C-alpha cells in the first residue's frame, strides 16, 4: 500500500487507484495510467528496482516512511 502521506485512504478515488496499481502489478507492468488524472504512475515493484528513493514523491515508493 502507498504511504498515507502520498495517497490518503480517505480519498474518494482510493479504491480506483489501488485497483489500477494492482492490475498493473498482476500484468507485470512498470506502471499504469492514473484513472483520475490520466498521468503515468510507476508501480511499487518498478520503483523498487531503482534500489533507492528518488525524492520525487512517487505515490507507490517502497522506500518512503
Domain locations along the chain: 1-65
Within 8 A by CB and 6+ apart from 31, the residues are 24, 40, 41, 42, 43, 46
Determine the 3-state secondary structure of 64 from DSSP. coil
Q: Which three cell numbers stand for residue 38?
A: 490520466
Query: With contact defined as beta carbons under 8 Å apart, do 22 and 41 qualify?
Result: no
The pTM score is 0.88
Give the pLDDT of the chain (65 residues) as one tens digit per residue: 778 888 899 999 999 999 999 999 999 999 999 999 999 999 999 999 999 999 999 999 999 86
Amino acid at each position: 500500500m502507498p504511504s498515507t502521506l502520498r495517497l490518503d485512504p480517505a480519498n474518494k478515488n482510493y479504491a480506483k487507484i489501488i485497483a489500477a496499481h494492482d492490475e498493473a502489478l498482476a500484468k507485470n507492468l512498470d506502471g499504469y495510467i492514473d484513472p483520475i488524472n490520466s498521468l503515468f504512475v510507476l508501480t511499487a515493484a518498478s520503483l523498487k528496482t531503482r534500489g533507492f528513493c528518488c525524492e520525487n514523491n512517487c505515490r507507490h515508493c517502497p522506500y518512503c516512511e
